[in-house]
Structure 1
């Protein structure tokens, strides 16, 4: 239909919230003592800045290997994402994630999670 924006463009422009308990982690790190920390996307909105594509809020949960929750961070951690070329702004500085399995960290996983192309 002429005059209508594609649904994907409308969805990208609208802010949405995701509850940490409902969303799948985009990154999980395992630490000694069988404790893991999972990072989830709590919100993703189109950025007002021309330097970034998205502004995100990251949630954090700490769990034991048997699934018991030790801690859920009730706050949100802000970050900004630019898809091309890939960069993540967090903690007052820009990072350019380099996708390498040997050095992969949460910033690469965030970039991939937010910027992945929809599959039809």
Structure 2
């Protein structure tokens, strides 16, 4: 479990601290740990290849009451909403399978940014 959380943190570029908002992705693990990723900011992308530069916060909680952690950093990713749909983290572009629904955090991030809910 700790390896997965470390991989999530190290897989995202560090930026500045921010408060978290509603999670766009939550993962539950057998050891009662819940990892949540929240979108805490977005800007028009600095690169013409992407639509948005976004910032993500990471937090963990334990369902058995043994603690929680909120990463004080913000982690940067870039999102391309148009074809070919992608999320880029630390210079690596990950294609988003919009037709299949996906399910990992990058797919959920793309949906949160590119497919906002309609009220």
TM-score scaled to structure 1, two decimals?
A: 0.74
In 2, distance between residues paired with 1:19 and 1:38? Answer: 13
In 2, distance between residues paired with 1:113 and 1:33? Answer: 27
Give the superposed CA RMSD: 2.0
Compute the displacement of 1:47 (Å). 1.0
Compute the displacement of 1:64 (Å). 1.3
In 2, distance between residues paired with 1:69 and 1:24? Answer: 20
Q: Which has the higher contact order (CA 8 A, sep 6+)?
A: 2
Alignment-derived partner of residue 116 in structure 1: 115
Structure 1 pair 47/31, CA: closer, same or farther in 2 (3 Å)? same
Q: Which runs of 5+ in 2 are unaligned?
A: 1-17
- Is it true that 1:75 corresponds to 2:65 in the alignment? no
How many residues were matched structurally? 100
Structure 1 pair 68/42, CA: closer, same or farther in 2 (3 Å)? farther
TM-score scaled to structure 2, two decimals?
A: 0.74
Compute the displacement of 1:116 (Å). 1.2
**The 10-residue stretch of structure 1 (110-119 or 48-57) with the greater mean CA deviation from structure 2:** 110-119
Q: Which runs of 5+ in 1 are unaligned?
A: 1-17
> For each residue in 1:92-115, what CA deviation from the matched residue of structure 2 results, as whole angstroms up to 9, or x when unmatched?
2000022435x5200000000001
**3-state SS, counterpart of residue 74 of structure 1:** coil
Compute the displacement of 1:58 (Å). 0.5
Compute the displacement of 1:68 (Å). 6.7
Alignment-derived partner of residue 12 in structure 1: none
Rg larger in 1 or in 2? 1
Q: Is the 8 A contact 1:61 1:69 kept in 2?
A: no
**3-state SS, counterpart of residue 19 of structure 1:** coil
